[in-house]
């Protein structure tokens, strides 16, 4: 699933795909999450997360909002 959205004035694309390989290893559903922006040369997020965490946040867009907001506050 790819979604384009705006986060704090930054245009981003969120790609969230099931990762069957990691899911088999971990024994629970894992989602690969990649967040990119045309204005940056590297991905903002490129990692795998337990799918239930993303679902609890209300989906990939909300999960990314929380992750990027937390990273911004920590900087």
pLDDT on residue 14: 97
Question: What is the 3-class SS of the chain, one letter each residue?
Answer: CEEEEEECCEEEEEEEEECHHHHHHHCCCEEEEEEECCCCCCCCEEEEEEHHHHHHCCCHHHHHHHHHHHHHHHC
Q: What is the mean pLDDT of residues 50-75?
A: 95
pTM of structure: 0.89
pLDDT digits (tens, 9 = 90+) for 8-62: 999 999 999 999 999 999 999 999 999 999 888 789 999 999 999 999 999 999 9
Kindly tell me if the per-residue pLDDT of 4 is higher than 90: yes
């Amino acid at each position: 699933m790819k979604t384009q959205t705006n986060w704090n004035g930054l245009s981003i694309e969120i790609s969230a795909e099931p990762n069957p390989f990691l899911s088999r290893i971990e024994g629970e559903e894992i989602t690969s999450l990649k967040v990119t922006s045309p204005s940056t040369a590297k991905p903002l997020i490129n990692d795998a997360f337990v799918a239930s965490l993303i679902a609890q946040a209300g989906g990939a867009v909300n999960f990314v909002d929380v992750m990027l907001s937390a990273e911004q506050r920590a900087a």
